[in-house]
Chain A
């Protein structure tokens, strides 16, 4: 099983990248964790650019998603909404609609912000966009508010309640991937 981590923040040392690091620590040992860091290179979505050859960053994004069994998204919140670069990546990945790499892809969304709300609206909008693209999205969020106060030096969440919720969501993602694998195996049999 492979989980792909995507941070919606491009900033080096971003709180959401730290949150992904904290989440990846909680994955079972038999799960491979891959961090995707190509978001900044993905060009703005343009139907004129959908013809082959695809922009290498778009091809790489789709391949990374296709090769993963589940996506773990950590998003900040800009103006009460999802960061443009993350939405742009979802838009590219959702095409072509008939054969999108997001169809039935297991997705969990978590988020951190320096405000008091912990990117909760951005998470809701990310879930909506992933679901509209056909993904199997876990209907939960982890809102880490005042993010600059909630990580220790090892990028672990200091608040036990937040840490427990993160554990639950990561566990649900892994369980959901296992269920999907089982149902696909049944369908093939």
Chain B
């Protein structure tokens, strides 16, 4: 398998491959276990400049939030949580991306949730293959960041009878993206 190091990635635009990408979140639930959810509909891209600079962009359609329990999915879309009616998208745009020789990423970017934009730091990994077997170039981007959801106005509070928060404020956002380089027209 012809594989190159992450830093050998060639300039151009890499768009996410819908089948092999996922965006989701985990949050502590009932003060114990971790609860996972995801979004079915999102776009992501990686721009590689001629100078090797990297920019990561993402847009998530919040209405596509997916959890195992339909009642909870409905609640997540409601004003108590994401308020999809007024804030249909979550967006991310990197403001600086550092990549180490081994592909380790250190990213700073603007994350917008529920109309509130904040600068966040994310860590992750970049991988790259110069030939995906079909004559195309592909990049892999894994990102995660932990935010305080209340800072974005997602401030639903419920306490269990013992006083523990039913849903923690801290949420980890995770993106696992496979991106294919767009071919010149």
- The answer to whether A and B interact is yes
Interface of A toward B, CB cutoff 8 Å: 97-98, 100, 103-104, 131-137, 180, 183-184, 187
Which of chain B's residues have a CB closer than 8 A to the CB of A131? 78-80
In the complex formed, the residue of B with least CB distance to A95 is B71
CA distance A180 to B87 in the complex (A): 12
In the complex formed, the residue of B with least CB distance to A179 is B86
In the complex formed, the residue of A with least CB distance to B72 is A97
Apart from A100-B74, A136-B78, 9 more pairs, CB < 8 Å: A98-B73, A103-B77, A104-B79, A132-B80, A134-B74, A134-B79, A135-B78, A136-B79, A184-B85
Please give me the 6 A-B residue pairs with the lowest Cβ-Cβ distance, nearest first. A134-B78, A136-B79, A97-B71, A97-B74, A104-B85, A131-B80
In the complex formed, the residue of B with least CB distance to A98 is B70
Number of interface residues of B (CB under 8 A): 13
Assess whether B86 is in contact with A183, with CB atoms less than 8 Å apart.
yes
A33 nearest CB across to chain B (Å): 23
Assess whether B86 is in contact with A134, with CB atoms less than 8 Å apart.
no
CA distance A133 to B86 in the complex (A): 17
Q: Give 13 A-B contacts (CB < 8 Å), ordered by A residue.
A: A97-B74, A98-B73, A98-B74, A103-B78, A104-B78, A131-B78, A132-B80, A133-B78, A134-B75, A135-B79, A136-B78, A137-B79, A184-B85
Which of chain B's residues have a CB closer than 8 A to the CB of A132? 75, 80
